[in-house]
Amino acid sequence: MKVLVTGASGLLGRAVATAVLGAGHQVRTFQRRASGVMGVEDARGSVTEAADVRAALVGIDAVVHLAAKVSLAGDPAEFAAVNVGGTRRLLRAAREAGASGFVFVSSPSVAHAGSSIVGDDALPADPLRARGEYARTKAKAEAYALAADGHGFAVTAIRPHLVWGPGDTQLVGRIVDRARAGRLPLLDHGSALIDSIYVDNAASGIAAALERAEAVHGNAYVLTNGEPRPVAELLAGICRAAGVPVPRRNVPAGLARVAGSLIETAWRIRPGLDEPPMTRFLAEQLSTAHWFDQRRSRRDLQWTPAVSLDEGFRRLAASYGR
C-alpha cells in the first residue's frame, strides 16, 4: 500500500511516517519542508493549495493526515484555512484520487469544554464548546472527516493526548523554556490528574488505525499511555530530564483563568513575538483532570503502548545528554 502522511516534518508526523514505513508500506510525505525521514518520498506543498494536494495524492492508497496549525493564539482565519479548509480539501481530493482509507489525527481537546474529564472514552467533538481556535477548528475538521466515511472510503479519527518525546518543540520545548526562565507555575499545586502519551506509542497507535481501517472506520479513539499522573509530577519529570528547575510556584487556578482571558484579549489587539504566557485554555488544561478510558481503543485497534512514561523520561534525559 502507498500511504501519504501529511505534516511529517513535525515530531509526531516523522514518527508516524517511520512507523508506517516499518510496517512494510511505501510512504510519501507532504509538508512545506523536507521531512527528514529516511526511505520516504517527500512531496512539498501546503494543504491550503488545491494543486499541491492533488499532486501529492497521485497513486496514493491511503492517507494519514497530521498537518495542522497548532498554537495557543493566532489569526482565526489561518486556523480555519489550515485545519478545516485543508482537511476538507484533502478528503475530497483523496476520494477523487481513489484512496480507500483516511486516518485523521485529531485531539482530545475537540471534546474538552473546560471541566474535568475523568475516565471517559472519546466524547463527541463539539466545536461550539471547544476552547480556543485550535480545538474549535480541529473539532470542525474531525466532524467533516467522519462524515466522509462510507463505502470504499474508510475514515477513522485518532486523538493522541499530550504527545511528547525527544526533539519535541511543542510540549517539551515550551515547558523547558518556561521552566528555565522561571515562568512555569503550578496551578492549584499541580494536583490535576492528566494523561499523556510518549511519541512512539502515539505513532504505533496511528499506524494500527491504518491497518485496522475496515474494522474501526467511522469511529474516534483517544490514545494515551494509560498512566495518568498529576500535572506537577509530569512537569517535574520533563524538567528533570532536561536539567532545568522543577516548578514550585503555585498560582490559584481561578486567578490563572481570569489572567489567561485578559491576556488573550490583549494578544488579539497587539500580538507579541511569541505565544502568550497564559490563555484560558492553557489554564484549564493545567488545572482540570483529563484522563481517559483506554479499553475500547486498545481492543479495537489491537494496540498497546510499548514505552512506559518512566522509560520515556529516561529517553528524554538521554536526548539532553543526561
Percent of the chain with pLDDT strictly greater than 90: 62
pLDDT at 258 over 70: no
Q: Please provide the CATH number assigned to the domain covering 2-163+196-224+291-305.
A: 3.40.50.720
CA atoms 292, 296, 299, 303: torsion sign: negative
The catalytic residue among 134, 144, 198, 221 is: 134
Distance of alpha carbon 201 from alpha carbon 188, whole angstroms: 30
Question: Which residue has cell 500500500?
Answer: 1
Average pLDDT score over the chain: 89
Provide the pLDDT for residue 259. 61
* Strands, E assignment, the chain: 2-6, 26-31, 41-44, 62-65, 101-105, 117-120, 154-160, 163-164, 186-187, 193-194, 197-198, 220-223, 229-230, 250-251, 290-292
pLDDT at 122 over 80: yes
pLDDT at 54 over 60: yes
pLDDT at 273 over 60: no
Q: Which residues contact 317 (CB under 8 A, 6 or more apart)?
A: 240, 241, 242
**Is residue 306 classed exposed, middle or buried when 0-12, 13-18 and 19+ CB atoms within 10 A define those classes?**
exposed
Distance of alpha carbon 23 from alpha carbon 213, whole angstroms: 15
Q: One-letter amino acid identity for 264?
A: E
Q: Which residues contact 200 (CB under 8 A, 6 or more apart)?
A: 15, 19, 165, 306, 307
Highest mean pLDDT of the ranges 172-176, 178-182, 256-260, 307-311? 307-311
Q: Do residues 154 and 126 touch, judged by C-beta distance below 8 A?
A: no
Distance of alpha carbon 47 from alpha carbon 88, whole angstroms: 9
- The model's confidence at residue 276, banded by pLDDT at 50, 70 and 90, is low
How does pLDDT run across 200-257, given as a tens digit for each residue? 999 999 999 999 999 999 999 999 999 999 999 999 999 999 999 998 888 776 766 6
Extract the C-alpha cell encoding 50.
488545491
Q: What is the mean pLDDT of residues 56-61?
A: 95
Q: Do residues 232 and 186 touch, judged by C-beta distance below 8 A?
A: yes
Q: One-letter amino acid identity for 234?
A: L
State how beta strands 220-223 and 154-160 pair.
parallel
How does pLDDT run across 82-93, given as a tens digit for each residue? 999 999 999 999
What residues does 291 pair with on adjacent strands? 118
Provide the pLDDT for residue 265. 60
Provide the pLDDT for residue 209. 97
- The model's confidence at residue 145, banded by pLDDT at 50, 70 and 90, is very high
Per the annotation, the verdict on 134 as an active-site residue is yes
Q: Which of 167, 158, 271, 279 is nearest to 223 (CA)?
A: 158
Name the residue ranges covered by the structural domains of the chain: 2-163+196-224+291-305
The residue among 193 and 265 whose pLDDT is bigger is: 193
